[in-house]
Amino acid sequence: MKAFEWSNPTNITEAVKLLQTAAQGADPDEAPRPMAGGQDLLTTNKHYITRPTRIVNLKGIRGLDRIEGNAKRGLKIGALATLTQIEENEEVRRSFPGLAEAALSVATPQIRNLGTIGGNLCQRPRCWYYRLEDVICLKKGGSQCYAATGENKYNAILGGGPSFIVHPSDLAPILLALNASVAVTGPSGNRQIALEKFFTLPSEGNLRRENVLQNGEVITEIQVPSSRMAARSTYLKFKERSSLDFALSAVAAAVEVGTDGVVKQARIVLGGVAPVPWRAPEAEAFLTGKKLDANILAEAAKLALRGAQPLEKNAYKVPLTQTLVRRALAKVGNVATA
Amino acid sequence: MQEPVKKKKIKVTRAVNGVEQEVEIEVDDVAGPEWGPNDKHAILNKHITRVDAPLKACGIAEYSYDKRLPGMLYGRILRSPHAHARVTRLDISAAEKIPGVRAIVIVPGEKVVEGAKKASEEADKKNPTEVGGKDIKPEREPGKVVRFEGEPVAAVAATTPEIAKDAIRAIRVEYEKLPHVVKAEEAVKPDAPKVLAEGNIEPRSKRGDQAKTTAAFAECDAVVEADYRTPIIHHSSLETHGIVVDYRGGDSATIYASTQGTFTIPDESAKELGLAQSKVTAIVEHMGGGFGSKFGIGVEGKLACMLAKQVKAPVKMMLTREDEFLMAGNRSGSWQTLKIGAKKDGTIIAFHAAQRALGGLGRGSQAGQPYSPYAGKIANAYNEIVAVKTNEDASRAMRAPGHPQASFAIESIIDELAYKIGMDPLEFRIKNLKDEVYHRQLNRAAKEIGWERRNRTPGAGSGPRKRGMGCAVGTWGGGGNKECVVDVTIARDGAVTVAVGSQDLGTGTRTYTRAIVAEEFGLQVKDIVERIGDSRLGKANASGGSTTAASLAPSVKDAAYNARNMMAERVAPLLGVKAADVTFANGKVAGGGKSLTWKQACVALPSAGLAARGQWRPNLQATGVHGACFAEVEVDVETGFVQPIKMVQVQDVGLPLNRLALESQINGGMIQSLGMALWEGRVTDNQLGVMLNPGFGDYKMPGTLEMPEMIALIDDGDTRPAVIGVGESAIIPSLGAVVNAVHNACGVRVRELPITPDKILMGLYTEARTA
């Protein structure tokens, strides 16, 4: 990797300052970077996809890895909490099961031991073309999305264009389904960003980024509000290879079902199919006020994928994702399936 | 006058890159060692724990990759990022200024543009640069044409691996891009860019009567015609290719190599270093897998020698994983157009095949169709094989070169035909396999997996998760050659050493080498010390074609037999019996009612102990094995996910030297095959001409969660008291078994590997639409 300055701040203010005062580099991929678990940053650095002038190590900052709260108060998860901490946390498992499932679905035990929730949300795309150093695609300042007409089996079927990456985070869909927000500290102070507004489509934001964070901004905490849906939440991830893989498609679902069996509210967020975690509001609205059964699930699944525009080699993602939507809803809604 | 030794002629089969040839050889017709019946051994044909297992499990075993020598430099290779391009400028001036960079070499290449060559020579004269104490010309090779992504362009040696990496990045290369082609379907088009001047299609062989075969299809009651495709597969050895050259000037050198052939190293490195071959020693203490890709020093070894020679310091040149994917060879892909026809009763009477081996710049390996277990019984068969060239790294041998590809295709089409005429695929195979060993093996494995439980109608059953079963067969040669010289020594204190330069590429050579000697002496495996992996020891063949065991084991047996006879001569007087009546068993040397412990007996030896040499004995080995595999999988028809449930593989082997190692080898074959069936494959981009998945994250090999229950069965119905290699045989049949199981489960016939969920879902969709 390209040589960089290494700094070890002990508080977040210092960290932000270190990010701000470092040389910003000529290219966005040369900007200084905060590092938590480093599981993604090290790989992009090794392949010279990112070439930060300075790496600011966040692990020396105390208290950033706490998991606090419960079903009633909601959760406050420090950005440096590892995926293992989350998947093993009793309160998360009991009251926010979808979040524990999502954490467990990531990569391998070794990576989960180091990878953090903050880092997971800020992962860079896995698109083959993006990950090859010598291919200068749209995401790296080039003029072409090679996946659009190339080998696009893993690429976006929703929200694509001009870049067709998919967002690789497993925690983002479920956190979005749970109405989570992130606390961010930056040069101009602190701000709170709802996850709903955190991720950006290539068509609407900076092509070189996948979220609204500015240079010098650091996620410090993820807040998951208490919700009547949290206890009935799930994350279904489909991997080609169970041992270690990113999602070909994934569904985060959460519902609140009244005592009469009628859905009071529902959330469906798709992963692995769009450049952002993709919410399916039409399907959510359709479910509200209905009693769940196999037909309703199938209809909701269709609605969730409405507008999908597959590329040459990823049409399979439509039926695959519909299946996952049905299965996720069946699970949270206790609907018996064949 | 001494009577000349009587000679006899015997026939042995040799398999070279998957092509079997029967040759007659002359051997001495004299009494000598014999293995005896397979079920009468004390040590052999039992489960023997691998002798190097503790070393490997504890991380003590030292591989070439682990070598660290005083003053050693680290080498790194600069590869071409383009599939086809001309180097127009190559400037090392920035790289050589990096502190810690000690040597830079530029890969000699073909110079196809005379003008550029002249210009570069003139530039050289004007601007020689001093690096590593030698003149290096900064623009030595303009005009060099690179023909695949990954082709080495230059190499650097530096004091740390990081500096070496920085240095290769600091070498400025300008390329003029030339048209490339990386997909076979494109390469066969008449207007495709030419990969080589001769063209993209190289005819390789034609067999059979095409007109007669074509006519025979008219007689068939059922015909299936289809294209089957397999992608380029990567060896993915855990230890990458590479060598450590310990050369510090002077007239000798030691090479630590990750190789399948200890004796393929000294000659090639001596040439590069400018030394006498006898002055170069190769050491292969442990090596981390080769699967057919590691013979000779390779381009990486050449570059390491060039660098070491330049600076007179040791250079370690181990490839990175990305190098490994891009420049260290691969298993050729295939594109096979097959047509098969049978009578209603299930007799196959016509088979037509057009096969294309896809070996990048290489010729590829492709076993002909009909694949050998089925050959000979089909009345009308024709096949032609061509190599289709693309701008990709040349293929190399890989575990049963060309056989898994051929087996997958024929086992698929035979399955298709069986269903078409409504016959049980197992019955259909038995009807069309002449060799009864297959019948025995198929029936045994069918019983083990419970073939009667299978889906009678592919895709039938309720619920989204459907189970299915499939089967297939394979074959290999596995005989040996007269290439090994083995020394067994017995010291007066009882220590026994068996020494031969051969390498253990993970197949258990160390263990059986000990075990054979222990068996002969009536000792235990732990009582013997083996020395291998050193070119100063007795010569041995390279490990290719599953020939190691059948070449080495007879020589070890012969050496031990000779040592035992010498020992018997010495001990006989002590026991008061003839040498021929001395027995060796249970740690005792006995005769005439008396018995000595091994140590006591060794006191009879002269102070220098004794040494015996062994040669290859053809009667101790044989050739020709069979294998059958059954697989059960579960397919989720709503996601396309395939979960392997169970695999059963039967393998004959003659005398199993070590049942545990053999079962592991069969398991390994099933696992590697499963990888090819369901996940692995090189993916290239047509427009860019590059490989898109050159790493273990994206080139998906199976992991622990992908593993089914695996049953490895040794076919003891094969009672040949002879050693046969089956490393390659073990990988062949499982591919077809898995592929057929997937079809049996979900009803979708995927004809292009790997069978990933997208292909199953799209297959189901197409089926639903046409239904």
**CATH number, domain at B165?**
3.90.1170.50
Q: Which residue of B638, B684, B766 to mutate against A (max A Cβ within 10 Å)?
A: B638
- Please state, in angstroms and rounded to a whole number, the distance separating the CA atoms of residues B700 and B682: 10
On whether both B161 and B309 belong to a single domain, the answer is: yes
Min Cα separation B685/chain A (Å): 6
The full 3-state SS of B56-71, as one line of letters, equals HHCCCCCEHHHCCCCC
* Interchain pair B464, A338: CB under 8 A: yes
Residue ranges in A6-127 assigned as alpha helix (H): 12-21, 41-46, 83-88, 90-95, 97-104, 109-114, 117-121
On whether both B305 and B254 belong to a single domain, the answer is: yes
- pLDDT confidence of residue A302: 98
Q: Which of B166, B640, B690 sits opposite A132 (nearest CB)?
A: B690
Is the model's pLDDT at B118 over the cut of 70? Answer: no
On whether both B170 and B247 belong to a single domain, the answer is: yes
- Please state, in angstroms and rounded to a whole number, the distance separating the CA atoms of residues B146 and B262: 30
Taking contacts as CB-CB distances below 8 angstroms, the residues of chain A near B761 are 316, 319-320
B279-300 average pLDDT score: 97
The answer to whether residues A226 and A72 touch, using CB atoms and an 8 Å cutoff, is yes
- Please state, in angstroms and rounded to a whole number, the distance separating the CA atoms of residues A270 and B86: 46
- Please state, in angstroms and rounded to a whole number, the distance separating the CA atoms of residues B449 and B472: 13
pLDDT, tens digit (0-9, with 9 covering 90-100), for A95-111: 999 999 999 999 999 99
- pLDDT tier at B494, thresholds 50, 70, 90: very high
Min Cα separation A8/chain B (Å): 23
Q: Which of A128, A134, A240 sits opposite B757 (nearest CB)?
A: A240
Is the model's pLDDT at B539 over the cut of 70? Answer: yes
- pLDDT confidence of residue B770: 80
**CATH number, domain at B609?**
3.30.365.10
A129 touching chain B per CB within 8 A: yes
What secondary structure does DSSP assign to A82-106, as a single string? BHHHHHH-HHHHHH-HHHHHHHHTS
Q: CA of B352: how far to CAs of B134, B194, B331, B531, B606, in Å?
A: 60, 29, 24, 51, 68
Q: Supply the DSSP symbol for B130.
A: E
B688 touching chain A per CB within 8 A: yes
Q: Which of A146, A151, A248 sits opposite B757 (nearest CB)?
A: A248
Q: Which of B270, B301, B318 is the last residue of a domain?
A: B318
- pLDDT confidence of residue B3: 55
Within 13 Å and on the Cβ side, how many CA atoms surround A80?
17
Mean model confidence pLDDT for chain A: 97
Q: Is residue B349 in some structural domain? A: no
Burial class (CB in 10 A: 0-12, 13-18, 19+), B196: exposed
- pLDDT confidence of residue B30: 63
pLDDT, tens digit (0-9, with 9 covering 90-100), for B560-619: 999 999 999 999 999 999 999 999 999 999 999 999 999 999 999 999 999 999 999 999
**Torsion sign, CA atoms A185, A187, A191, A197:** negative
Q: Which of B298, B318, B338 is the last residue of a domain?
A: B318
- pLDDT confidence of residue B136: 34
B703 touching chain A per CB within 8 A: yes
Q: Which of A128, A131, A320 sits opposite B757 (nearest CB)?
A: A320
Q: Which of A240, A315, A323 sits opposite B762 (nearest CB)?
A: A315
Query: Which tokens hold the place of B489?
Result: 């020594």
Which distant-in-sequence residues (6+ apart) come within 8 Å of A207 by Cβ?
Answer: A138, A139, A162, A163
**Nearest one of B709, B705, B704, B706 to B631, comparing CA atoms:** B709
Name the maximum alpha-carbon separation found in chain A: 62
Min Cα separation B52/chain A (Å): 27
Is the model's pLDDT at B137 over the cut of 80? Answer: no
On whether both B708 and B636 belong to a single domain, the answer is: yes
* Interchain pair A146, B638: CB under 8 A: no
- pLDDT tier at A89, thresholds 50, 70, 90: very high
Q: CA of B335: how far to CAs of A182, B230, B355, B475, in Å?
A: 52, 7, 6, 21
- Please state, in angstroms and rounded to a whole number, the distance separating the CA atoms of residues B598 and B346: 62
- Please state, in angstroms and rounded to a whole number, the distance separating the CA atoms of residues B430 and B440: 10
On whether both B490 and B580 belong to a single domain, the answer is: yes
> Which residue of B lies nearest to A154 if distances are taken between CA atoms?
B758
- pLDDT tier at B306, thresholds 50, 70, 90: very high
The answer to whether residues A197 and A212 touch, using CB atoms and an 8 Å cutoff, is yes
A294 touching chain B per CB within 8 A: no
Q: Supply the DSSP symbol for B640.
A: T
* Interchain pair B690, A128: CB under 8 A: no
Q: Supply the DSSP symbol for B394.
A: P
Q: CA of A152: how far to CAs of A73, B680, B684, in Å?
A: 43, 17, 12
> Which residue of A lies nearest to B640 if distances are taken between CA atoms?
A320
> Which residue of B lies nearest to A128 if distances are taken between CA atoms?
B692
Q: Are strands A54-57 and A33-35 parallel, antiparallel or unpaired?
A: parallel
Beta carbons within 10 angstroms of residue B61's beta carbon: 16
Q: Is residue B562 in some structural domain? A: yes
DSSP 3-state of A128: helix
B766 touching chain A per CB within 8 A: no
DSSP 3-state of B331: strand
Beta carbons within 10 angstroms of residue A43's beta carbon: 18
Burial class (CB in 10 A: 0-12, 13-18, 19+), B452: exposed
The helix (H) or strand (E) run that includes residue B22 is strand B19-28
- pLDDT confidence of residue A258: 95
A274-302 average pLDDT score: 98
Taking contacts as CB-CB distances below 8 angstroms, the residues of chain B near A338 are 462-464
A314 touching chain B per CB within 8 A: yes
pLDDT, tens digit (0-9, with 9 covering 90-100), for B164-183: 999 999 999 999 999 999 99
The answer to whether residues A25 and A225 touch, using CB atoms and an 8 Å cutoff, is no
On whether both B443 and B492 belong to a single domain, the answer is: no
Which distant-in-sequence residues (6+ apart) come within 8 Å of B50 by Cβ?
Answer: B56, B508, B510, B511, B660, B661
On whether both B253 and B309 belong to a single domain, the answer is: yes
Is the model's pLDDT at B5 over the cut of 70? Answer: no
- pLDDT confidence of residue B108: 77
Mean model confidence pLDDT for chain B: 93
Greater model confidence, B738 or B130: B738
On whether both B97 and B151 belong to a single domain, the answer is: yes
- Please state, in angstroms and rounded to a whole number, the distance separating the CA atoms of residues B413 and B226: 8
Is the model's pLDDT at B502 over the cut of 60? Answer: yes
Q: Per the structure, how many domains does chain B have? A: 3
Which domains does chain A possess?
A: 232-332 (3.30.390.50)
Min Cα separation B687/chain A (Å): 8
On whether both B466 and B486 belong to a single domain, the answer is: no
Q: Which of A150, A242, A248 sits opposite B706 (nearest CB)?
A: A242
* Interchain pair A323, B762: CB under 8 A: no
**Structural domain of B459:** 435-478+622-771
Residue ranges in A180-271 assigned as alpha helix (H): none
- pLDDT tier at B31, thresholds 50, 70, 90: confident
Q: Is residue B368 in some structural domain? A: no
Beta carbons within 10 angstroms of residue A242's beta carbon: 16
| Angle, in degrees to the nearest 10, between helices B509-521 and B548-575 | 30
Listed by number, the residues of chain B in 150-189 with a beta carbon closer than 8 Å to a beta carbon of chain A are 166
- pLDDT confidence of residue B142: 58
B769 touching chain A per CB within 8 A: no
On whether both B521 and B638 belong to a single domain, the answer is: no
Q: Are strands B242-246 and B315-318 parallel, antiparallel or unpaired?
A: antiparallel
A188-209 average pLDDT score: 96
- pLDDT confidence of residue B199: 94
A320 touching chain B per CB within 8 A: yes
Q: Which of B619, B640, B672 is the last residue of a domain?
A: B619
What residue has token string 């732990």? B526
DSSP 3-state of A24: coil
**Torsion sign, CA atoms B750, B751, B756, B758:** negative
Is the model's pLDDT at B119 over the cut of 70? Answer: no
On whether both B595 and B639 belong to a single domain, the answer is: no
Q: In the beta sheet, which residues pair with residue B13?
A: B22
On whether both B484 and B549 belong to a single domain, the answer is: yes
**Nearest one of B767, B519, B509, B748 to B633, comparing CA atoms:** B748
- pLDDT tier at B21, thresholds 50, 70, 90: low
Query: Which tokens hold the place of B226?
Result: 């289809």
B88-117 average pLDDT score: 78
* Interchain pair B685, A241: CB under 8 A: no
- pLDDT confidence of residue B113: 35
- pLDDT tier at B112, thresholds 50, 70, 90: very low
Torsion of CA B284, B289, B292, B296, to 10 degrees: -30
